[in-house]
């Protein structure tokens, strides 16, 4: 029986390896090895007839004490014995080399000095012995450290390797990922192999780990080798290719993870904790948009900036991003107490200085005027709005008050108090709207663009699609439904939407504030629209489940005001390119006669004891102001006041 297969010996070895080796013991072992390699070197060269004719007795009496003393001094000076042996790395190997080099210099100087003064060959080991001993001792000290580390990893850490992973990508990023996993005691994984579609790499080994062709990693392969995770480690991987990889392993019993971009690594180094499960955002059918941060910085620097709706999904991200710029003062306004409090706590982590958190409702003109008069902002980012389509379809009065009155209130005050720029957050649902929410946002767009033609304040509109991860959006809804055991609900099998991430949406708003002069409606090239049914299947897949075996998708029918596809431009709008290839400007037709008076009349409508009657009146007036508004699948369809 092999000794290491004995449970008792294995247990004892494991317990000993777990203990941190005392430094004095490491030093003693290094000295012992150095003396022995010296004797072995002398014996080997004597056997080959190389070197001096000294006897072993002379070597042991005259030279070994010298070797012991000089190596002791060299090891003390270089501290080569102070490293934790079980975590030996490149720097430890370098220290061993430094120590042996210094020892070799010492012995050359010492032997030359004694030989010159005494002319006795017993003090001169010879060039061959010195050179061979240097090489042999360096290898011995390094090898034993690596051996100890290997034994520690195998016997002590081995029982912690509960998950086998494969790394997709055998390039530099893949190797860095491998090292991050191996060096992290808390990762609890062992790397079984790499995958790479380059033929020259297939079949080779990296640190003893085999590189496989992805086509060879079949379902049977995964089950046979108990692979539980696949980590995708390819930098700048296009979303389309990432989707292909995800689809390939869709039916495999594995968890898919991804290595983040190099720019996000902590101090330039990857840690195992940064390797995360793939998010649906990673599968967007286009590359993430990168905007001109320097232009934004120049626009924000030294300015007083005010954000309405600052505690919402978009407003809070705008606020957080603004905290990274050199503003003069930042005023964050919202009526939602708890979310605003959470934003306040976040600002402390982001070192957001000169930030004021103000409770206020944009519908309250008196409160807004007191605040704007006090702070006198240079730029206003207006993100306050009601956005949920079904809810606003049932509450048109509140939609008008928040989205139209709220925007009008803040916009009028921006004119009155000479705000330089007013940037409004809009939505693609404002284009050819089929619901109350989209129609009210369209009214807000039209109102601020008309103001731009009359006053010095620059009014700018940003229009984009659905925001992944925002409150009430489809992804959090799908995840909640999965936690509840399903089914996932989709309103129509062919319904599509444009998507962008929250950081992208907010960067667009900030960029618009920087590059806009006034009167522009900025639209965002978001690539191809995404089929919600396919998105639902992807969310199921990334949750480690299968459709339809584990989770079903239920078609519920279009909701009131909902349309199958969204648009970014109305039929009478044209898109003009900007200096950024992904940002366009829509020329809006806003020449409706008597528009301002009609808006004032709309806002004079009061809630009555008959909500439906009030709603019908409001919708009729909105349709007059926004002729392209056609209620879809709605109780207001075909009704006139």
Catalytic residues, by residue number, are 429
The helix (run of H) or strand (run of E) holding residue 426 is: strand 421-427
CA separation for the pair 633, 485 (Å, rounded) = 29
CA separation for the pair 166, 206 (Å, rounded) = 13
User: C-alpha angle with apex 95: 91 to 97, nearest 5 degrees?
Assistant: 115
Distances (CA, A) of 167 to 227, 256, 271, 278, 545: 11, 10, 15, 14, 21
CB 188 within 8 A of CB 160: yes
What is the DSSP code string of 21-74?
Answer: PPHHHHHHHHHHHHHHHHHHHHHHHHHTT-S----HHHIIIIIHHHHHHHHHHH
Q: Which string of b and e fits 567-595 if b means at least 16 CB within 10 Å?
A: bbbbeebeeeebebebbbbbebebeeeee
Residue found by looking up tokens 């699948």 in the block: 633
Q: Which string of b and e fits 597-606 if b means at least 16 CB within 10 Å?
A: ebbeebeebe
- 201, two tokens: 């790499």
345: three-class secondary structure by DSSP: helix
The helix (run of H) or strand (run of E) holding residue 455 is: none
Residue 538 sits at φ, ψ, to 5 deg, of: -65, -40
Q: Which residue in 467, 608, 598, 565 sits closest to 524, CA to CA?
A: 467
CA of residue 192 relative to chain centroid, distance: 26
The helix (run of H) or strand (run of E) holding residue 289 is: none
- 638, two tokens: 């075909």
What one-character DSSP code corresponds to residue 85?
G
Q: Which residues contact 462 (CB under 8 A, 6 or more apart)?
A: 423, 424, 425, 426, 508, 509, 512, 521, 522, 524
């Amino acid at each position: 029986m092999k000794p290491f297969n004995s449970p008792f010996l294995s247990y004892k070895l494991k317990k000993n390896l777990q203990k941190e080796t005392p430094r004095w013991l490491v030093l003693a072992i290094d000295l012992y090895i150095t003396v022995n390699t010296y004797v072995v070197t002398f014996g080997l060269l004597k056997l080959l007839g190389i070197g001096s004719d000294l006897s072993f007795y002379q070597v042991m009496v005259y030279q070994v004490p010298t070797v012991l003393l000089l190596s002791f001094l060299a090891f003390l000076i270089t501290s080569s014995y102070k490293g934790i042996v079980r975590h030996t790395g490149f720097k430890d190997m370098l220290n061993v080399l430094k120590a042996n080099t210094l020892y070799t210099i010492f012995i050359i100087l010492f032997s030359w000095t004694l030989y010159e003064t005494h002319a006795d060959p017993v003090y001169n080991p010879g060039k061959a012995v010195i050179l061979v001993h240097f090489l042999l001792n360096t290898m011995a000290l390094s090898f034993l450290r690596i051996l100890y580390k290997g034994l520690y990893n195998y016997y002590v850490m081995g029982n912690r390797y509960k998950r086998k992973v494969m790394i997709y990508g055998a390039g530099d990023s893949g190797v860095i990922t491998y090292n991050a996993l191996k060096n992290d005691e808390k990762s609890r994984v062992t790397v079984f192999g790499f995958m790479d579609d380059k033929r020259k790499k297939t079949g080779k080994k990296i640190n003893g780990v085999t590189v496989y062709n992805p086509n060879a990693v079949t379902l049977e392969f995964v089950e046979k080798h108990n692979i539980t995770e696949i980590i995708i480690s390819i930098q700048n991987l296009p979303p389309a290719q990432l989707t292909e990889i995800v689809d390939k392993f869709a039916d495999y019993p594995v968890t898919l993870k991804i290595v983040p971009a190099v720019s996000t690594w902590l101090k330039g180094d990857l840690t195992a904790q940064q390797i995360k499960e793939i998010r649906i955002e990673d599968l967007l059918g286009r590359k993430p948009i990168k905007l001109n941060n320097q232009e934004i910085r120049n626009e924000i620097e030294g300015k007083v900036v005010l954000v309405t709706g600052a505690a919402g999904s978009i407003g809070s991200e705008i606020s957080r991003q603004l905290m990274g710029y050199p503003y003069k003062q930042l005023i964050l306004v919202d009526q939602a107490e708890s979310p605003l409090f959470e934003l306040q706590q976040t600002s402390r982590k982001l070192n957001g200085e000169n930030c004021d958190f103000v409770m206020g409702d944009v519908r309250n003109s008196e409160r807004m005027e007191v605040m704007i008069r006090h702070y006198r902002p240079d730029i206003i980012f207006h993100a306050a709005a009601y956005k949920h389509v079904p809810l606003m379809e049932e509450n048109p009065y509140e939609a008008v008050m928040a989205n139209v009155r709220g925007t009008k209130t803040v916009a009028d005050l921006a004119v009155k108090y000479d705000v330089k720029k007013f940037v409004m957050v809009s939505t693609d649902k404002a284009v050819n709207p089929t619901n109350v929410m989209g129609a009210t946002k369209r009214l807000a767009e039209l109102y601020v663009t008309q103001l731009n033609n009359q006053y010095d304040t620059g009014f700018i509109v940003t229009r984009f699609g659905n925001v992944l991860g925002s409150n009430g959006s489809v992804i959090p809804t799908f995840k909640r439904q999965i936690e509840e055991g399903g089914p996932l609900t989709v309103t129509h099998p062919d319904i599509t939407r444009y998507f962008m991430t929250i950081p992208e949406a907010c960067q667009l708003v900030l960029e618009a504030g920087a590059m806009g002069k006034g009167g522009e409606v900025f639209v965002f090239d978001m690539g191809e629209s995404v089929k919600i049914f396919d998105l639902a299947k992807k969310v199921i897949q990334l949750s480690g489940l299968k459709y339809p075996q584990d989770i079903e998708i239920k078609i519920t029918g279009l909701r009131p005001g909902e349309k199958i596809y969204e648009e970014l431009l109305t039929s009478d709008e044209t898109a003009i390119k900007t200096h950024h290839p992904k940002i366009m400007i829509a020329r809006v037709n806003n020449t409706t006669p008597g528009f301002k008076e009609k808006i004032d009349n709309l806002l004079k409508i009061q809630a009555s004891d008959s909500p439906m009657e009030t709603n019908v009146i409001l919708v009729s007036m909105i349709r007059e102001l926004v002729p392209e508004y056609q209620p879809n699948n709605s109780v207001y369809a075909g009704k006139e006041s």
